Amino acid sequence: MPGSLGAAGPKLRPQYRAVFISDTHLGTRGCRSDFLADFLRRTTCAHLYLVGDIIDGWRLRRSWYWDAQHDEVLRLILRHARAGTEVTYIPGNHDELFRAWVDPAMPGGLEIAGIRLASEAVHVTARGQRLLVIHGDAFDSVVRYAKFLALLGDHAYTAALVANRWFNAVRRRLGYPYWSLSAWLKRRVKEAVKAIDRFETALAAEARRRGLDGVVCGHIHHAEMREVAGVLYINDGDWVESCTALVEHHDGRLELIDWAARQGLSFAAPRAVGVVQPA
C-alpha cells in the first residue's frame, strides 16, 4: 500500500516530514491501541516524536494489563526506527521511569534500539520554525507539587474512561461512530477549561523565554493548535480519548489529524482537525 509501513520499511518518500504522538498510555484498558497500531502501520515519516506517557507506569504498578495489540504498537515503533525513521522518545510523568535513562550530560540523548531518549528536543520545521518539544507535566502544578493529588485524579479519570468505554460499546451496537464522553465533559467543566488555559499559557511563555517560535506538548489530552501571545502552541492530543496526532508536511505546514474519525478496519485518509500556515 502506498504510504504505508511495509515489512521492509518505506521505499518511497515518507508521507510526512515529522509526526508527533503522545499520551498513548500503553498498559491501560483505555489505550486505543487498535487505532494507534493502524495509524503507525499506515503512516510513514522522516522523524517520529513520542512526546511522553507512551507507557503508563503508574497504572502498571497497580495492576498489570498488556495485550497483543500493545505489543504490536511497540513492534511498529521499532519497525519505523529500523526503516530509517528518526525516533525521539521524550518521557512524561506516567513513564517517568525512563527519565532515569536520560543523561543531562548528553544533550543529544541516549540511543537504544535506534530510539533516542531525551528530556526534550527542538524541532526545526521546513519553514525554519523552531519548536520546543516537551511532554509538559513540569508546567502542571498538581503533578509538580502534589503528586498524591495527581494520582487521586488519575483514579477519577480512569473511572471516566471506563464509563466512556461502556458508552461507546452501546453506540457501536446502535451503529453510531466513536465519540469521547470524557473529552466532552472536559470541555464543559469550567475548572478544567481554566486549567487547560493556564497550562497553554505557561508552555507558550517557556517557548518565548527560550527565544523559540512555538511548543509541541502533550500531557493534558486536549489537542489544540493556536497562537498564544505570538507563540505557536500545539498539543498533539492523546490515544485514549481522541486519537489525534500532529504531522508536519514536507512544505512545513503543521496539521492536527483525528484518526478516530476513521474508526474500524477500513480507515480512509484521516480527517483534519486543524491546520496552520496555508501552502
Q: Model confidence over 16-43: pLDDT tens digits?
A: 999 999 999 999 988 999 999 999 999 9
- Asked if residue 5 belongs to a domain, the reply is no
Tell whether 11 is covered by a domain.
no
> Is 154 part of any domain?
yes
Of 15-19, 94-98, 114-118, the one with minimum mean pLDDT is 94-98
Would the pLDDT of 152 be above 90?
no
Overall number of domains in the chain: 1
DSSP for the chain? Answer: -TTS--TT---S--SEEEEEE----BTSTT--HHHHHHHHHH--EEEEEE-S-SB-HHHHHHS----HHHHHHHHHHHHHHHTT-EEEE---STTGGGGGG--TT-TT-EEETTEEE-S-EEEE-TT--EEEE---GGG-HHHHH-HHHHHHHHHHHHHHHHHHHHHHHHHHHTTPPP--HHHHHHHH-HHHHHHHHHHHHHHHHHHHHTT-SEEEE-SSS--EEEEETTEEEEE---SSSS-EEEEE-TTS-EEEEEGGGG-SSS--SPEEEEEES--
Q: Do the domain assignments include residue 1?
A: no
Q: Are 36 and 243 in contact (CB under 8 A)?
A: yes
More reliable by pLDDT, 237 or 242: 237
pLDDT at 212: 98
Give the per-residue pLDDT at 2.
45
- 231-235 and 110-112: which strand pairing? unpaired
* Rounded average pLDDT over 247-275: 73
Instruction: Reply yes or no on whether the pLDDT at 234 is more than 60.
Output: yes
Supply the pLDDT for residue 154.
54
The residue-averaged pLDDT of 156-161 equals 59
The answer to whether residue 8 is domain-embedded is: no
Mean pLDDT value of segment 236-263: 91
Residue 103's pLDDT band (cuts 50, 70, 90): low
Cα 22 from Cα 72, distance rounded (Å)? 17
Domain span including residue 114: 16-276
Residue with cell 507506569: 57
Per-residue model confidence as pLDDT tens digits over 45-70: 999 999 999 999 877 878 888 999 99
Return all residues near 231 (Cβ < 8 A) that are at least 6 apart. 204, 205, 207, 208, 212, 213, 214, 215
pLDDT for position 226: 97
How far apart, in whole angstroms, are the C-alpha atoms of residue 182 and residue 89? 27
CATH number at residue 271: 3.60.21.10
The answer to whether position 196 is within a domain reads yes
- Taking only the tens place, the pLDDT of each residue in 196-228 is 888 999 999 999 999 999 999 999 999 999 999
Catalogue the long-range contacts made by 149-154 (C-beta closer than 8 Å, 24 or more residues apart). 150/93, 151/58, 154/58, 154/59
Q: Which has more pLDDT, 91 or 163?
A: 91
Q: Write down the pLDDT at residue 202.
A: 93
Give first-to-last CA distance, the chain, whole Å.
Answer: 26
pTM: 0.78
Q: Cα separation of 97 and 255, whole Å?
A: 31
- Range 92-105 average pLDDT: 82
pLDDT (0 to 100) of residue 273: 60
> Please, are residues 244 and 259 in contact by the beta-carbon 8 Å criterion?
yes
Q: What is the pLDDT of residue 144?
A: 42
Provide the pLDDT for residue 247. Answer: 98
